[in-house]
Amino acid sequence: MKIEHLALPVALITIMASCSAPKKLRESEARNARLDSLYRASESQRKKCEEDAARATAAYKDKMESFQDQQTQLKANNSQMLEHLKELSVISSSQAESIKKSLDNIGAKDAYIKDLQSAIARKDSLNMQLVMNLKGAVGNMDDKDINIKVEKGVVYIDISDKLLFKSGSYEVADRAKDVLGKVAKVLINQPDIEFMVEGHTDNVPYRPNVLLDNWDLSVKRATSVVRILQNQYQIPAARMTAAGRGENVPVASNETAEGRAANRRTRIVILPQLDQFFKLLEKPAN
């Protein structure tokens, strides 16, 4: 009789264990499927960026080769023309030499233009690589929350304020530090890059309290992000600038809730290295 009483609980435990095991297996399989989907999406995005960069590089290389061929042909035609004119005694040797110097000067200016084009292409290539690194570090986040892009040769990282701050606050939320840490990891590995952190708001008036207005709020938010990057992720302060833009540079209409949400953002702007381009833009020697 005692054996029968013991057999019933054992049977119940066995049945419950057999039911829970398939459930855990299904949950594990579903989790693995989600992770595999995220991985595949990330790999697809990375490959697309690489393909775009390869196509841009190949197109630029073809243009440069065509430009070099044209320049070589032009020099050959110039030399033939001068020799022909000298044979016809249309110009003197001194005049021919003067014309040759002028043509060589044109060639030097062409080479200068080529150097500028090469520098711009190199900068574009570096920007593309930086964007790929940032997107790879951030992962498969919603583009509405964080958007990384290149516009007119400048890299922008837009982070929605709902990831960073509570409404009307300039204190960085704990959940935001994960995102900032991923961005900081890429930026700290690029020691030559300087950047500006911009705070942006919508056009809803800020209720005066500790802060005065949206200008004040946007500046405070920018400096809060800069302090996190400096104190927690050891990015040198000399590489960063904090700025507030208030409501004055919207990316969407403030007439809708969605537009105002898009305008409330923190933007990291990778500053171009202007000193290098100023050197290139110096007047070439005659």
The residue type found at 1 is: M
From 218, 104, 130, 241, select the one nearest 168 (Cα to Cα).
218
CA torsion 242→245→247→252, rounded to 10°?
-90
Gap between the Cα atoms of 58 and 52, Å rounded: 10
First to last CA, the chain: 113
CA–CA separation, 125 and 224 (whole Å): 32
166: exposed, middle or buried (Cβ count in 10 Å: 0-12, 13-18, 19+): exposed
Q: How confident is the prediction for the chain on average, in pLDDT?
A: 76
161: closest CA among 130, 194, 198?
A: 198
Element (H, E) at 106: helix 93-138
Confidence of residue 2 (pLDDT cuts 50, 70, 90): very low
Residue of 184, 186, 48, 193 lying closest to 123 (CA atoms): 193
CA 279 to chain centre: 25
- Mind listing the pLDDT tens digit for each residue in 158-213? 998 888 988 778 898 888 888 898 899 888 888 888 899 999 998 888 776 778 88
pLDDT in tens, 111-160: 656 666 666 666 677 778 778 888 877 776 555 688 888 887 788 889 98
pLDDT tens digit sequence for 81-121: 556 555 544 455 666 666 666 656 666 666 656 666 666 66
Burial class (CB in 10 A: 0-12, 13-18, 19+), 222: buried
Q: Are 102 and 81 in contact (CB under 8 A)?
A: no
Between residues 59 and 258, the one the model is more confident about: 258
Q: Which of 41-45, 262-266, 268-272 has the lowest mean pLDDT?
A: 41-45
Q: Which CATH superfamily is domain 143-286 in?
A: OmpA-like domain (3.30.1330.60)
Name the least confident of 4-13, 20-29, 74-83, 192-201.
4-13
Residue pair 238/191 in contact by the 8 Å Cβ criterion? no
| Cα–Cα distances in angstroms (integers) from residue 244 to residues 72, 220, 258, 259, 260, in the given order | 52, 8, 22, 19, 17
The two structure tokens encoding residue 156:
């922008």
CA–CA distances in Å: residue 113 to residues 32, 105, 107, 254: 53, 13, 10, 44
Give residue 19's pLDDT band: very low, low, confident or very high (50, 70, 90): low
3-state secondary structure of 195: strand
Q: What is the pTM of this model?
A: 0.57
